[in-house]
Structure 1
Amino acid sequence: KPASYLIAIYTAFSNVFLLYFAYHFPRNYRRRESRLTVTIFTIAGIIVYALYVYNTYSEPVVYNFETQFFEFQKPAAARPLSLVLILSSLWTLIVLTRKSISIEREYRRNLRESGNAANRPFGVFRLHSKEARALRAFAAAVLAMTLFSSSYVLYTTNRISWADFQLILTSATIVQFFVYTIIYLNNSPQPTTFMVKLVGVSLVTVLLVLGIVNRFTYEGNESRYDQRRLAELHEIREEVEESDYSTMPPAVRYIAKRPAAGGPFVENYEIMFLKTDHISADSLASNDEYMESRYLSHQQIRDNRSIDEILSDLRKIDYSEYFTSPEYQGRHPRRLYRSLTPDDSSTYFIRYVIKAGDSLYEIGYDYAPYLMSVHTTAGRMIYFMLLTTVILFVLFPFFYHGGLVNPLNRLLAGVTKVNEGEYDVEVEVQVEDEIGYLSHSFNTMVESIRDARARLQDYADHLEEKVKDRTAELRKTLEQVQNLKIQQDGDYFLTSLLIDPLGRTAVESPDLTVEA
């Protein structure tokens, strides 16, 4: 129960932190609303968690063979948790979508005011703001998570089984963390290094692939176990038909005979072969009675029918037809389980039912060896995933150091020196790849800047001499102009002296008359 209560804490409060992130990424525009809604969902989480603990504290613990762990809750007990989970997911989706639209509108308004919106195509789904695109990506991830979370509601309303819900939940959680990590690394407003993104993306991608591989590995382990038992069942059927139980496979713990009629749960068993102290005809009948009561309770809640109606339909089931059907006669028979004493794992059995003659025979195997094989496989998966994580964190930077990190660091060091005013920089190019092309382009750019600065420095160093030369040339030109002006003034004076007598028309002497 403590482990389940810890999982319930995650269910009740995980979306509170997600909602807090939605309000504050990249910055909080609605501080009052964020404080109010986060407080409301926190209080709601506390209430539904306390209600969940109260409703399940006294429930008996039962081992679920399909999910392979203990459970104690009834679906209805987790219904408030599922509702809070769905509501908080929907509100987080609303916050992200609303903020994305608001930031994009502000960005477009600023573009129009600055006059830079003429060549930018706008549309409903075409976002130009980097922050708006990041929020839209997170909103899409939350939408997918909300759809997966709806399986919790389906479970609490008896629409799907606990095993199906656990499969959906675990698969969705792996994909959810992968998507969140990728989106955040690609859109993080905080400064990050290229190596962090490279190792982070590689890590979550590899872990996602390993999660899928682990699932197929587990299914393969299940299939191999059933195939081994199937090979034994063919031999056992022949020996049962001959009533020879002397050469049973060593893994078989018991063989019990029961009538084919009467439904899946019967009251009369006959032990035909026994190699365990935990099995008897009475214990099998008592266990059938217990499983029948659980089945009736579950069906009554799901179908909303009376127990008498469900029991009447159950008694009509002919197990002989089921076990002789083409579906059952296929390669993989259906594996069934028994738990005689929930607190004692030594009373857990795997059982297969075969038809021989007019009766059904239940062949039982110890559950512990099977569980140990699953544990061994799961342990190897865990060790492999931990080893992969260590390799990615420790060795990946080393692997990328020579061909990727060092060239990037050299290029970054060159850019830093240029920003500081040092232009005697040349980045060494070791590999002719994309980084090598950038390094060549950077060297060419720095060389052009260096030449331009040299010309400017030359102009600055010889500016005084050039000014003196230009001043001397101007002074000489002015002197020449002055000399020409003086010469011109002299010529004008002489000309005026010559013209003045000739221009006179009146004679002052009384003895001389001039006729025009």
Structure 2
Amino acid sequence: MDSIYFTPFSISVLNVALMLSVLLAFIWRIPDKSYATKQLLRFLIGVDIVFLSFVYIFSSLSLEGARMAWWLLHSVVLFAVFLIQFAYSFPVFILTGEARKALYFSGAASLLTYAFYLYHTTFIPPEFDANGSMFVFPGAYEVGIAMAVWLIWSMAVFYRTARMLRHGIASGAEPDVAATEHRIAAIKKIILILLSPIVLVLVIILAYLELASWELASHLLGTGVMVFLYLFAMVYLNNALEPSSLQIKMVGLFLGAILVVLGFSSAITADLHEEAFLAQKGADATRSTDLLIADRSASLPAEVAYVKRDGRVIYSTIGGMAKPEAAAADWRGDWGFLKNRGNDPQGFYIEKTITADGHSYAVGYSYLLYRASMHALSSSLAWVVLGAALFVVLIFPLFFHRSLFIPLRRLLGGAGQLEHGDLDINLPVSVKDEIGTLTRAFNQMAGSIRESRDKLRSAYEHQIDLTEAYSRFVPKQILSTLNKKSILELGLGDNIQKEMTIMFSDMRSFTSISESLTPEEVFRYINTYLKQVGPIVRKHNGYIDKFIGDAIMALFPADAESAISAAIEMQREVDKLNRKLAQDGQLQIKIGIGIHTGEMMLGTIGESERMEGTVISDVVNVASRIEGLTKIYETPILISYTTRMKLKEPHAFNLRTLDRVRVKGKQQWVDIVEVLDGESGERLGSKLETKQAFEEAVSAFQNQRFEEALQRFTALGSRQEEDRAVAIYRERCEQFIEMGIPENWDGAVKL
């Protein structure tokens, strides 16, 4: 009791320190704190230190007791901060860099403050204000000066912060509010920050009020101001730009509510306990007065320190006490407060004034009795406060960890998975409350989204299948050529005129082949061939416009090279297919290909219930006739001279000028060119070897030098017997030599 002394005000300050510690823990746990929030953190640390500074004043009249109480309360506060930090990061202890800095700052400031107070309490004796209501140390006034300096510094800091918030720039620090932040939100935040110096002023006034008077109203006022400070910080956290944590807010609010309740109950309990103590001692004083009147001083209670009658000491147990100094009037109603002569910190007394037997009696008791009684109550209340705080910061998170925080974190994790497109999620429902209902609703929502996704995916895949099915009948290239994105945009009569290369391909002797096959075998035979050549057309940026029995009509919008390359590859693929058919004992396939280039109209024809895409042009007829010439000249690939002129690199192919013909239904003649790359084996080598000689013979024929041409073709015939074109030219030369040249002959032969 002599070394540590708890008073009701000790409980009040303990509540304040715990509240501030919780607020500090709140702000420490905010990730990516802004400049203004960091300033608020430092400000609250300063306020916490100011409250701890009052300990030496009210904790004990003993210097040793003051020191021990100072360090005890400060250690409790710092330990509470660590516990809160642990509870918020449960089950892993994390002490952030900001928390360490704050603790270092608080510890250094505490050491300086303690050294300052130690000097005054050690070398300067306490003073008693006979006209006032308390005893004071001179250091208390310096405390006021220190707090005033802190207030000025805080106001300067927050004024500078307000300007930085206004301009959106924090000089020498991290930017707090972007320039694009909404004006109303910025103003609200500035107002919230500027409230804090006002709170500090109220706290300082409250502290001195409580030191001056331990009335119930003072305690209630102090608790109310601290509630205001606590709510201010919570409002700031809820309106700040930085993210916070539901766990922090729940623990903080719950602890704040408990501390407020304990503050009120402690104040009321202490006031009632004090009244009961003084009432008991007042009754003892009345009995003591009656004993003195009855001249029975030997029977006085041992607790009575002295008795005065009409101001003169008639009974005393105080050694060396000549005369107690005047007491302060109305300390507690008809109770007075006084001290002995000298500066003994323990020489304080309380006395009860009683009027009896026509005299005024004053019965005095040692102040230590009052201290001991209030200390016993305050110590119990302090343990209750600390126990409640520890319960909140430790047991509360453990209690709600499974029932609240884990389900909420699962919900947050599930929301994150949904955000990243992971719909295969089903959260476990571990509680049967609103959180459980929310979890079930989340699972149902995820299931509905997953079901909708599956339906949408199925519909999308079905649409792709439909599109692919439509593309088998309406090629995609027709849509792109007509500048249509979807077949739904295609309308009857849509058309475009464009230069394209057209290819006709036809199977040789298909009629005779089909007569020897069943219908199923005929379709299988044709489809076997078409499966091989169709992809080749698409590979070279072309598309099949239509199938005409065993014939193919394909278009190449890009260039003529693509059509010729496709024709060459088709012939080679047919050669491979024939080798396989020969192994299976089936009939082999031979095809002829004709290619022509020119302006064509591509569009849709038909009627509302049935339409198709096609090309309309004389170029189509010419290409078909050229393909027919491959049978006459017994060559795989023929192209028109127009197509040859459209080639960007004609030397990339082995081409041989073949003939000038006037096809059926056309008055204008067409020069045709043979693509030797369509040949294979010895035929290809022989034609390449005689290519120049053949073209010279054709030139002589076109210039009506038939005898020279005949000699040249005869020489070629002796070298290669399988070249049907050589035989045809030889017959023509002999005919023209024998019958003469037709009138107005232009070098073209009608076929």
Q: Which category of TM-score, normalised to the shorter sequence, fits these structures?
A: 0.5 to 0.7
**Residues 476-498 of structure 1 deviation map (CA, whole Å, 9 limit, x = unaligned):** 88697699999xxxxxxxxxxxx
- Determine if contact 2:230/2:256 at 8 Å carries over to the other structure: yes
Cα gap change, 1:206/1:96 in structure 2, threshold over 3 Å: closer, same or farther?
farther
Residue of structure 2 in register with 1:371 after alignment: 371
**Alignment partner, residue 491 of structure 1:** none
Distance change >3 Å, CA 359–CA 172, structure 1 → 2: same
Q: Which residue of 2 aligns with 1:451?
A: 451
**Structure 2 SS opposite 1:372:** helix
In structure 2, the CA distance between the partners of 1:93 and 1:389, relative to structure 1 (3 Å rule), is: same
Partner of 2:271: 219
CA–CA separation in structure 2 for the residues paired with 1:172 and 1:89: 22
The answer as to 2:386 corresponding to 1:334 is no
- 1:472 positional shift: 3.5
> Is the contact between residue 134 and residue 212 of structure 2 (CA under 8 Å) also seen in structure 1?
no
Asked whether the equivalents of residues 408 and 435 of structure 1 are also in contact (C-alpha less than 8 Å), the reply is yes
Is the Cα–Cα contact under 8 Å of residues 56 and 77 in structure 1 kept in the other structure?
no
- Partner of 1:139 in structure 2? 194
Any idea what the Cα deviations from partners look like across 1:176-196, whole Å, max 9, x if unmatched? 663455245434555443222
1:126-165 → structure 2 map (5 Å cutoff): 128-129=184-185, 132-149=187-204, 163-164=212-213
Structure-2 separation of matches of 1:471 and 1:110: 52
How many Å separate the matches in 2 of 1:67 and 1:432?
Answer: 62
Cα gap change, 1:369/1:139 in structure 2, threshold over 3 Å: closer, same or farther? same
- Alpha-carbon distance between aligned partners in 2 of 1:415 and 1:197, rounded to the nearest angstrom: 21
User: Aligned match of 1:26 in 13, 16, 34?
Assistant: 34
SS of equivalent to 1:233: helix
The letter for the 1-side match of 2:194 is A
Task: Check whether the contact 1:138–1:180 (CA below 8 A) recurs between aligned residues.
Answer: no
Aligned length: 383
* Cα distance, 1:253 vs structure 2: 2.7
Letter in 1 for 2:153: S
Distance 2:244 2:417 in 1: 20
Output the CA distance in 2 between the equivalents of 1:463 and 1:88: 71
Partner of 1:61: 126
Q: CA RMSD, aligned part only? A: 5.2
Query: 1:417 deviation in Å?
Result: 2.5
1:194 equivalent among 230, 246, 251: 246
- Counterpart code for 1:72: F
Q: Describe the SS at the equivalent of 1:424.
A: coil
Letter in 1 for 2:310: R
Q: Which residue of 2 aligns with 1:360?
A: 360
Q: What one-letter code is carried by the residue in structure 2 that aligns with 1:197?
A: K
> Residues of 2 paired with 1:423 and 1:438: CA distance?
17
Question: Contact between 1:226 and 1:332, CA under 8 Å: does it hold in 2?
Answer: no
| Residue 484 to residue 385, structure 1, CA distance change in 2 (3 Å) | closer
Give the one of 314, 319, 323 matched to 1:278: 319
- Mapping of 1:91-130 within 5 angstroms? 91-92=156-157, 94-95=159-160, 98=163, 110=180, 128-129=184-185
1:139 and 1:250 mapped to 2: Cα distance?
57
Partner SS state of residue 182, structure 1: helix
The 1:485/1:101 distance shift into structure 2, 3 A limit, reads closer
Letter in 2 for 1:146: V
- CA gap 1:55/1:432 in 2 versus in 1, 3 angstroms: closer
Structure with the larger helix share: 1
Deviates more, 1:211-220 or 1:242-251: 242-251
Q: Which amino acid aligns with 2:406?
A: N
Distance 1:407 1:135 in 2: 36
Secondary structure, in 3 states, of the residue corresponding to 2:385?
A: helix
Q: Secondary structure at the match of 2:343?
A: coil
Q: 1:414 is matched with which residue?
A: 414
Partners of 1:483 and 1:277 lie apart in 2 by 128
Separation in structure 1 between the aligned mates of residue 210 and residue 181 of structure 2, nearest angstrom:
53
Higher strand share: 2
Structure 2 CA distance for partners of 1:70 and 1:256, relative to 1, 3 Å:
closer
Match of 1:390 in 2: 390
**Map of 1:115-514 to 2, 5 A cutoff?**
128-129=184-185, 132-149=187-204, 163-164=212-213, 174-175=226-227, 178-179=230-231, 181-183=233-235, 185-187=237-239, 189-259=241-311, 269-271=312-314, 273-274=315-316, 276-278=317-319, 280=321, 283-284=322-323, 287-288=324-325, 333-343=334-344, 345=346, 347-429=347-429, 433-459=433-459, 461-462=461-462, 465-474=465-474
Q: Retained in 1: the 8 A contact 2:350–2:365?
A: yes
Deviation at 1:252, TM superposition (A): 1.7
Whole-angstrom CA distance in 2 between matches of 1:203 and 1:111? 33
Is the 8 Å Cα contact of residues 286 and 354 (structure 2) preserved in structure 1? no
Instruction: Please give the alpha-carbon distance, in whole angstroms, between the structure 1 residues aligned to 2:353 and 2:376.
Output: 27
SS class of match (1:249): coil
- How far apart are residue 52 of structure 1 and its match? 9.4
Deviations 1:238-294 (A, max 9, x none): 4444444343234223212234xxxxxxxxx342x33x24254xx21xx42xx59xx
Q: How far does residue 229 in structure 1 lie from its aligned partner after superposition?
A: 1.4
Cα distance 1:107–1:99, how it changes in 2: closer, same or farther (>3 A)?
closer
- Residue 165 of structure 2 contacts residue 177 of structure 2 at CA under 8 Å; is this kept in 1? no
| TM-superposed deviation, 1:73 | 0.6
TM-score normalised by L of structure 2: 0.42
Q: Which moved more, 1:227-236 or 1:455-464?
A: 455-464
2: CA distance between counterparts of 1:198 and 1:66?
Answer: 48
- Deviations 1:293-318 (CA, angstroms, capped at 9, x unpaired): xx9xxxxxxxxxxxxxxxxxxxxxxx
Find the residue that maps to 2:299 and give its secondary structure. coil
Tell me, in whole angstroms, the C-alpha distance in 2 between the residues paired with 1:199 and 1:161.
29
Partner SS state of residue 426, structure 1: coil
Is contact 1:85-1:149 (8 Å) kept?
Answer: no
* Counterpart AA for 2:286: H
Structure 2: how far apart are the matches of 1:221 and 1:365? Answer: 17
Shift of 1:163: 1.9
**1:436 to partner: Cα distance:** 4.1
Unmatched segments (≥5 aa) in structure 2: 5-12, 14-19, 47-104, 169-175, 475-544, 547-603, 618-751
Which structure: larger Rg? 2
Q: Percentage identity across aligned positions?
A: 21
- Tell me, what secondary structure is at the counterpart of 1:450? helix
Once the two structures are TM-superposed, the CA of residue 415 in structure 1 deviates from its matched residue by 1.6
Q: Give the letter for the 1:149 counterpart.
A: I
**Is residue 256–residue 361 contact of structure 1 (8 Å, CA) maintained in 2?**
yes
Gap change, CA 1:484 and 1:402, over 3 Å in 2? closer
Report the CA distance shift for 1:94/1:358 in structure 2 as closer, same or farther (over 3 A). farther
1:429 is displaced (CA, Å) by 4.3
- Distance (whole Å) between structure 2 residues aligned to residue 437 and residue 358 of structure 1: 80
Paired residue secondary structure (2:34): coil
Aligned partner letter, 1:27? Y
Tell me the SS of whatever aligns to 2:353: strand
